[in-house]
Amino acid sequence: MIGFSLLVTFLPVVIIILVIFAIVNATKNKEMGDEAVIRHLYTYLVLFATLMMVIGGGISIFMAAADLVSPPSYYQSFEDYKQIYHDRKEVPVEDSKKLTDEEIRAKFDQAVADEKNRTRERAKNQIIKSLGFIIIPLPVFFYFNNMRKRQSDI
């Protein structure tokens, strides 16, 4: 989430710098026609956008892998869980008798384990989605980079 907010903050600044760079480069090379300048500008903007997508996907994969390896802690303590359990107005039929602390502890441990499993499943899902941000724009980046190299050779 922090990486996304940093990207949103700095992305307009970087785009403005790239546009200024392209304009300065275009004024230096006045022998190129307007169409060639626009083509170069478009190529560099596509390269920049696809590179940012690949970098964002890589960051997202790294963050999801960290959640997969070491899921965030469960924030509810046993005492809070026990208090909430005893304060419930509606008690399910199976729990109509008063449960002992050991039984409540077993339910709490199961809730903690379930939360860790859910976090791991979300991390796996996030890794798969983030791979799309690498696999999809990467061929586009390579294509436009090869096109840029061919244009500079001419």
The residues spanned by each domain of the chain are 2-87+97-153
Supply 109's token pair. Answer: 């441990």
User: CA-CA distance, 124 to 61, in Å (whole number)?
Assistant: 9
User: CA-CA distance, 77 to 35, in Å (whole number)?
Assistant: 65
Supply 130's token pair. Answer: 């983030």
- pLDDT attached to residue 15: 76
Contact yes or no for 126/60 (Cβ under 8 A): yes
Residues in the chain, pLDDT under 50: 96
pTM: predicted TM-score of the whole model, two decimal places:
0.64
User: CA-CA distance, 99 to 83, in Å (whole number)?
Assistant: 12
